[in-house]
Structure 1
């Protein structure tokens, strides 16, 4: 009897290793290498036979292109993130923290699609059918014709979907970590099971034209649990984000083969489910204190949508040799860069202060256009002077202290004007500002911003005497 061969695979990047080790040489992650049987899986096993390949049709690249047919969910924020609806025959992975509202969002979308005449199948591997019905009643979705099932075996799920002769338009599987297949000899939730189960459902989506949505758990680091190869296999990866201390939720596209990856959808969690927020700026600025020092309003862009958020900074004197830098909602390395530029080119003394930076509402900022707003909040907190309540800030700061232009200035200013912000501090020569001409304060260098905020207040180092 031949000896059974084993191999070791990284659960983070999918790299195969000949032996176990504590660290993956490919991605550098620790404790992610697990053992798997290479003969297990679809087409594996001791009795496998080699299938003779068959030729596929080749088509010229110069042929006519067609738009991907989509299923419009009637949930506007979800359709915005997916690029206009879920593409037929595509596979989508939805991740998020436990209890963030993934099942709630999908149930509301499934009910809306069912009312529009689409065939929807909701398969739960974590709850019984009775529990799913209770949630649907709470969400007001019990009057729809969504078909429910509680099953985790892939073969049974595929057999159920094939019965009746009519394929569904949308299949929701909650969650991918609970699925298992007979072709793999390992426990549900392992790397091999998750990968093989996802591969089987993706093959079903491509062969039938039905859209498949897989729900995935999130690790404590914020990554979707399971092998990262699943994210490479699907057509779109959506992340459902939120803070337990706030009611809002953000749906963000991490990967999308059929649409943009910089759009967001904003929801508010209520007792009756998720409510769409058409104007997220009002949500993030709802509890703003206009007279507090250290608060600046940043005009952000998420795809084609402008969003106004408040950036809060606190500079507190410290007796420690190494002052503390704490950041929530922004890049800590970028904060260190802004502080260094303020010290080197503007003489602003922050070396003896702890700096705390927070983006209000738990919102997360990724674009460098927030540099100017962060610098304004830091100077305002250090000087103890509140910024004008009707001003917004946006612009990128270079290492030389210059303020660089950022794209979409007209869209940012239009959103600010709609919410009553009559002034804007922005880079000089910032491009097209639309119809807005009054109330614009252009900054060429960061020193101009410091002088505008602090005026004659002592924030600059005195020159050393001889």
Structure 2
């Protein structure tokens, strides 16, 4: 009997599946993103029947449940990538047999970072295989010459056929494999075109099986959509062990590497890099880097401290408040949540009594950082009031704290780490929630802790 061929429609943006074509995707609300793909049914469901027919017992090749007390924990076998910022984001190094997805905008530096990682691993006598489906061998060599000298432990392969790639990996048995990019890989068992939902999902599944079976650490590069997420089905991020995103403006010099998923470490760590002619260079002290060029005695400027994972980062928040020329004031936020800015302005208008409804407001996080931490609330309020009153905040003052709808200032996590970082960089005054000031006032010498219980108390200092 001939098998029946089934057609399924997938959304190319989010992977939503439907039995018929639709103009707008119910999942991501995008228009004209559905494509038709043919699904070939596979023969399943026979293993259990055959096993029961043969009379297999409970202990014959069958997984058995185990008690927690019977499970032993072993430290993961990790490779040192010799890039400190990358090691930090990965949780201490590259885990053997792991599958890591690296996403980011075009030209942000994904291939450059992985090529630098391959160079350092090869210099550490690790066997590395770099597989490219987008660039020729000559193009990769031109980029490699700008980075530095490579050893013979790294080999290059330009191929998109996943069958050939699997055969090459099994034959050469490298320790680390880099796939650039997953959207160019082609599995001949899938009838759809490269880059489609089915191709990306099946190709990732094959690579995951190879990595787990042979203990090979695999990096795969993923293109991103206009929203900044990895193109293809959402299940792609669920399949891999680690998801890393490269953030930042491609025209700026800095880059932020952020872990949004990590089965072997924290998901809050970030790595900071600077793009130079010789490649990506680590920024070991991001606070000093972010505060470079800060104007002196300028209204609407205040420094705050954010914590990403275990790393405190000082960053300048800039605000510009000006009278609007339109019926509706304009509000714009660069680097933080636009809705948060509207909320804080409503709090200050209601609780502080500032008439901000007829003023435009622009918020910018200097350096291009993207942060939505609640600890930035107090500093944003002070920057807005400073610009509104045209009164500068002293350059040696730093502020952090969460602001509630009643105007109260709440405590945030890891305040001692934030205060220590501010003191290390020479700040003399720290405006913090009152509970934090009462707890740590005796612990820090050389920096004055001013505790505030409401946003009214904080903005009253701006005269």
Band of TM-score, shorter chain: over 0.9
Task: State the distance in 2 between where 1:61 and 1:183 align.
Answer: 40
Deviation at 1:23, TM superposition (A): 2.9
Within the candidate set 81, 88, 92, 2:100 is matched to 92
Task: State the distance in 1 between where 2:3 and 2:212 align.
Answer: 37
Query: Which stretch has the larger CA shift, 62-71 or 249-258?
Result: 62-71
1:464 corresponds to: none
Within the candidate set 62, 77, 86, 2:85 is matched to 77
Task: State the distance in 2 between where 1:227 and 1:151 align.
Answer: 23
Gapped runs of 5+ residues in structure 1? Answer: 455-466
On the 8 A contact 2:14/2:232 being kept in 1, the answer is no
Query: Which stretch has the larger CA shift, 18-27 or 256-265?
Result: 18-27
Task: State the distance in 1 between where 2:327 and 2:28 align.
Answer: 35
Task: State the distance in 1 between where 2:97 and 2:344 align.
Answer: 46
Work out whether 1:396 is the aligned partner of 2:391.
Answer: no
Deviation at 1:33, TM superposition (A): 2.9
Deviation at 1:10, TM superposition (A): 3.1
Deviation at 1:12, TM superposition (A): 4.2
Q: Deviations over 1:34-64 (max 9, x none)?
A: 221121xxxx56xx57662562354332222
1:123 corresponds to: 131
On the 8 A contact 2:272/2:283 being kept in 1, the answer is yes
Within the candidate set 149, 156, 161, 2:164 is matched to 156
> Any idea what SS the aligned residue of 1:225 has?
coil
Task: State the distance in 2 between where 1:15 and 1:106 align.
Answer: 31
1:24-39 correspondence to structure 2 within 5 Å: 24-39=25-40
Within the candidate set 35, 41, 47, 1:52 is matched to 47
Judging changes above 3 Å, is the alpha-carbon distance between structure 1 residues 285 and 263 closer, same or farther for their aligned structure 2 residues? same
Deviation at 1:352, TM superposition (A): 1.0
Within the candidate set 446, 455, 459, 1:446 is matched to 455
1:61 corresponds to: 68
Judging changes above 3 Å, is the alpha-carbon distance between structure 1 residues 144 and 427 closer, same or farther for their aligned structure 2 residues? farther
Q: Deviations over 1:349-393 (max 9, x none)?
A: 211110001000101112110000100100000111111100111
1:365 corresponds to: 371
Alignment TM-score, normalising by the size of structure 1: 0.92
> Any idea what SS the aligned residue of 1:301 has?
strand
1:312 corresponds to: 318
Work out whether 1:228 is the aligned partner of 2:247.
Answer: no
Deviation at 1:85, TM superposition (A): 1.0
> Any idea what SS the aligned residue of 1:168 has?
coil
Task: State the distance in 1 between where 2:137 and 2:67 align.
Answer: 48
Gapped runs of 5+ residues in structure 2? Answer: 49-60
Q: Deviations over 1:268-297 (max 9, x none)?
A: 000111110000011111111021110110
On the 8 A contact 2:122/2:151 being kept in 1, the answer is no
On the 8 A contact 1:107/1:141 being kept in 2, the answer is no
On the 8 A contact 2:177/2:219 being kept in 1, the answer is yes
Work out whether 1:208 is the aligned partner of 2:214.
Answer: yes
On the 8 A contact 2:98/2:217 being kept in 1, the answer is yes
Task: State the distance in 1 between where 2:90 and 2:266 align.
Answer: 7
Task: State the distance in 2 between where 1:350 and 1:102 align.
Answer: 43
Task: State the distance in 1 between where 2:79 and 2:46 align.
Answer: 35
Task: State the distance in 2 between where 1:382 and 1:144 align.
Answer: 62
Alignment TM-score, normalising by the size of structure 2: 0.93
1:314-333 correspondence to structure 2 within 5 Å: 314-333=320-339
1:55-454 correspondence to structure 2 within 5 Å: 55-62=62-69, 63-143=71-151, 145-164=153-172, 167-430=173-436, 432-433=439-440, 435-437=443-445, 438-454=447-463
Task: State the distance in 1 between where 2:205 and 2:227 align.
Answer: 25
Task: State the distance in 2 between where 1:49 and 1:130 align.
Answer: 45
